[in-house]
Amino acid sequence: MTDEPGKDLAPRQPQPQPPAPQVDPEQLRQFQEFQRFQEYQRYQEATGQAPQAPKQPGGKRWWLVVLGSGIFWRALFFLLVVFSAVWAYNHFFGVDDPGDIAQDSGGVTGAAQGLSAPAGLQGTVGMFYKHVSFADTTRACTLFLRDDTRQKFANAQGASDCAAAVKTLKSKVTSVDKYQQVMFPPDMLKTPTTTKVTIDSCALTVEGGPRLGTFVVEKINAGWVITDWSESTCG
């Protein structure tokens, strides 16, 4: 007996399929967002809505840019405030106004700083008290015209020179605020009718420190300087 063709063949088994690749959900989400972003960009370009780069000043002048800057105006305002504060302090609290330099006609080394008035808080004697209260040896001693007068003042304090005398007197000041506010009688605050006046500390109201003697103050050029000094009888 002849077998039928193919009868002895076993039935074919189905071939196993390769496993489907695993897709990371997060990567898929990012890819989809990227596709949507590309589509949005193409839409903007097609409709003329694509964002444009900001325009540069180009030929705009630099000073126009500066004037339009808020930082510039804030800095300028700050400088004006500082300048005004310095001016007000100097005007009301007594930075010396030397006016002209009173030269020593006798040839003694050094020059005196002449102030605009002989008495008063802004005058020569008033400023001398103030400089002593702060131990400002340079400004105090340059109110004297000559070295011999400076030395006379120093000797009375038992000091080697004017600067040392100022430091000695400073150590006796108990209240700087009171000592620099010496009060002058009304007659001394008037404009002098002569170019030479004598100011005795005994006539002044002095608090917070020692009295500083009797001053002879003369007007030389535009400034009043101390041309002589002696001890006062009231101490």
Q: For the segment 191-222, what is each residue's pLDDT rounded down to a tens digit?
A: 999 999 999 999 999 999 999 999 999 999 88
C-alpha 194/C-alpha 174 separation (Å) is 36
Can you tell me whether residue 92 is helix, strand or coil?
helix
- pTM for the structure as a whole: 0.55
Q: Please enumerate in sequence order all residues whose Cβ is within 8 A of that of 179, keeping only pairs 6 or more positions apart, or say none.
A: 129, 132, 133, 173, 206, 207, 208, 209
Residues forming a β-bridge with 218: 196, 225
More confident site: 8 or 218 = 218
Lowest-pLDDT range of 29-38, 154-163, 215-224:
29-38
Q: What residue type is 220 in one-letter code?
A: I
C-alpha 68/C-alpha 192 separation (Å) is 55
* pLDDT exceeds cutoff 60 at 58: no
